[in-house]
Amino acid sequence: MTQAEELSSKGLEGLSLIVGMGATGLSCARFLGSIGADFAVADTRAAPAMLPVFRAEFPEIVSEFGELREAFLNSATRLIVSPGVSVKTEAIAKLRQAGVEVIGDIALFARVVNKPIVAVTGSNGKSTVVALLASILRADGRSFGVGGNLDGENFKPALDLFKEEQKDIYVLELSSFQLETTPELNAQAVALLNLSQDHMDRYADATEYLSAKQNIFNGAKTVCINLSDPLTLPLDSAVRTVRYKTQDALEDGFGIAEVAGVRSLSFNGRAFLAVERIKVAGEHNLANALAASALAHAVGVSLESIASGIESFQGLPHRCQWVAAVRGVDYFNDSKGTNVGSTLASVVGLGEHFAASTGGRLVLIAGGEGKGADFAPLVPAVGAFVRKVILIGRDANLIAHCLERDSKAHDIAFAQSMEEAIELASNAAKAGDAVLLSPACASFDMFDNFQHRGDTFAARVRENARKDEG
């Protein structure tokens, strides 16, 4: 028997109106249908992608597509809003102000789940930390489910986890869009990994963005704190915390210890895994490993299992993923670097690694849809670690102007395609260098999504590697 068959519609009396019929909206419909709850569906689009599937599965359910009608929304006891729909939409905001409950799929999940939740948010590193934690839990023999704001083949809406056999623990990757409709998560352990400017096309300012992220703290039993980023601190000082820091060892938390020239992950000052045994490169991935360690410790996993899980982790596609070496130059696909903070972490992480190991520098391929971001935080890292910047996409000129405002001259070139960008980068790179695709932008001006962008990069690099070998 699956969990869905054991759950009831208690607490969901009245009509639930799902707003947004994408993959998440469809998961809400399936879940509500499985527990016999009364629901209807609306979408601002006349023909959302999941509409044929929805109508085939729920031919009797009332639905409206196109402009949101206030009268239809008013018929609902609550709105269940998909992450792709802004709660600032006039009709939704009006009902929210009037006291109508507005929640999302994660709030619905939290309301009915009866096993512990471990949740991760942050501007960067969420997917890697979740995947590291999954590897650790697997090494510890735990039964777990993973869902939420995942991408590609790993995508699974949280509510779809109820279609499976019940697990001992649930690990959720959460976006700000999901958290802004999650008033109470009540998780066993949470981490807000970091915060850098993102989604400024949807939020008024960085404070509003942070406020959405901080909903992850609501009801949390343990908060894992990144001491290198004060914005990750919990709002309630009384909550239990597990601390971590990448710069040095901690006597009461996770850190980096150095003994006889060997750097290791440490807990309470004691080393438990040499950094050289970790397969994902860059200082930013040490922070990801420490965050996963802290979350695992918060749910009772041993240091032995933490070390084993981290050591066996191979990394995720499109996240500082090594692609190939061509003529002494390493190529890395970080297409998931869709905001400034993510690209900054990759440039510094890989830049420090290559400076120390080969004396090399980076050639950075960046650009795309900037989402209203300020690219100024990239300037010092580009100056310190980058030999040349190749810019692509709609906001290439914005990035160039930002770099050119710096007193230090930066070597910048423009490309009209990924193939041209790789050719320019290959010509600029020297043996011992690395070419890094980390756009700091969304991909939709030139590609279907960040996976398509990364796959295009990787395919051309591998083709060049084959030609070089031949």
Segment 276-306, tens digit of pLDDT: 899 887 788 899 999 999 999 999 999 999 9
What pLDDT does residue 470 have? 67
State what percent of residues in the chain have pLDDT above 90. 73
pLDDT reading at 394 higher than 50 = yes
Q: Is the Cβ–Cβ distance between 71 and 94 less than 8 Å?
A: no
Which residues 6+ apart lie within 8 Å of 129 measured at CB? 120, 122, 191, 193, 288, 291, 292, 295
The C-alpha R_g of the chain, in whole angstroms, comes to: 23
Which distant-in-sequence residues (6+ apart) come within 8 Å of 73 by Cβ?
Answer: 17, 19, 42, 79, 91, 92, 95
Nearest to 366 by CA among 461, 442, 423: 442
In this predicted model, what pLDDT tens digit does every residue of 230-280 receive, in sequence order? 888 888 877 899 999 988 899 999 999 998 889 999 999 999 999 989 988
Domains of the chain in start order, with CATH, are 13-103 (3.40.50.720), 109-312 (3.40.1190.10), 321-469 (3.90.190.20)
Predicted TM-score of the model (pTM): 0.78
Strand partners, 341: none
Pairwise pLDDT comparison (202 vs 160), residue with the higher score: 160
> According to the model, what pLDDT value does residue 229 have?
87
At position 464, the amino acid (one-letter code) is: N
Q: How far apart are CA 319 and CA 285, in angstroms?
A: 10
DSSP per residue, 50-94: THHHHHHH-TTS-EEESSPPHHHHHT-SEEEE-TTS-TTSHHHHH
Q: What backbone phi and psi angles, to 5 degrees, belong to 380?
A: -60, -40
Average pLDDT over residues 326-342: 92
Dihedral sign computed on CA atoms, order 227, 232, 238, 239: negative
Residue type, 326: V
The pLDDT assigned to 1 comes to: 42
pLDDT band at residue 199 using 50, 70 and 90 as cut-offs: low
**Residue 182 clears pLDDT 90, i.e. is over it:** yes
The count of other CB atoms within 10 Å of the CB of residue 8 is: 10
Residue of 311 and 1 predicted with greater confidence: 311
Which tens digits make up the pLDDT trace of 86-141? 998 899 999 999 999 999 999 999 999 999 999 999 988 898 999 999 999 999 99
Question: Would you place residue 196 in the very low, low, confident or very high pLDDT band (cuts 50, 70, 90)?
Answer: confident
Name which of 433, 315, 440, 430 is nearest 365 in CA terms: 440
Q: Does residue 403 carry a pLDDT above 70? A: yes
**pLDDT by residue (tens digit) across 38-90?**
999 999 999 998 999 999 999 999 999 988 898 999 999 999 999 989 998 89
Q: What are the residue numbers of the active site?
A: 126, 149, 199
Query: What is the DSSP-derived secondary structure letter of residue 240?
Result: E
Distance CA 310, CA 356 (A): 23
Residue with tokens 């962008």: 453
Q: Could you give the 3-state DSSP secondary structure of residue 45?
A: coil
